[in-house]
Amino acid sequence: MTSTALRRIQKEFRDITDHPLDNLSIEPKEENLFEWDCSITAESDSPYKGGTFKFTLTLPSNFPFKAPSVQFKTKIYHPGINEDGAICVPVLRDEVWSNVDFFRLLMLVTIFQQWKPSVTLATVLSIIQDKLNNPSHDDPFEPDIAALLKNDKSKFLATAKEWTKKYAM
């Protein structure tokens, strides 16, 4: 653990607690600032409406020079989150340009194409929240779920709702 990492994490934690993100909570795990218990309450227009999804954000000892890792603890029927709780890191393709506004695209490029020390944890958490609330069949971690979302959206939505009731409420 470096003092640079600890100072940066303390500052980022303060910034997030001073300016909280809607429907998202964070808390250091057992007073360890390098591991955060986080939860996202899905938005009302999300397939996961009413669910609260827990995940762990782990910060490496050489943060911010190395990216944090994320593992969901709550099971979720999502094309971008696998059964082990890992979240998909999308590879940008040409079709993203037509589906994403410029600001969001800039955030995605910054976070997922190449980690940079200037990226804030608030940005990381916002992107995770956006990905959870807006499942996409592009760049899936779970190809079968992505195919169902693409080919039979009503069945996908019914299954997502069922899993949300079972695991996230």
CA angle 62, 65, 71 (to 5 degrees): 75
Is 38 known to be catalytic? no
Count helices and strands (H / E) in the chain: 6, 4
Catalytic residue from among 26, 40, 88, 146: 88
User: What is the spatial distance between Cα 146 and Cα 135, in angstroms, rounded to a whole number?
Assistant: 9
How far apart are alpha carbons 146 and 10 in whole angstroms?
37
Count of all residues that appear for the chain in the document? 169
Peptide bond into 90 cis (omega under 30): no
Strands 52-58 vs 32-41: parallel, antiparallel or unpaired: antiparallel
The pairing of beta strand 52-58 with beta strand 24-29: unpaired
Instruction: Output the six-digit token pair for 68.
Output: 């944090």
Active-site residues, by number, are 88
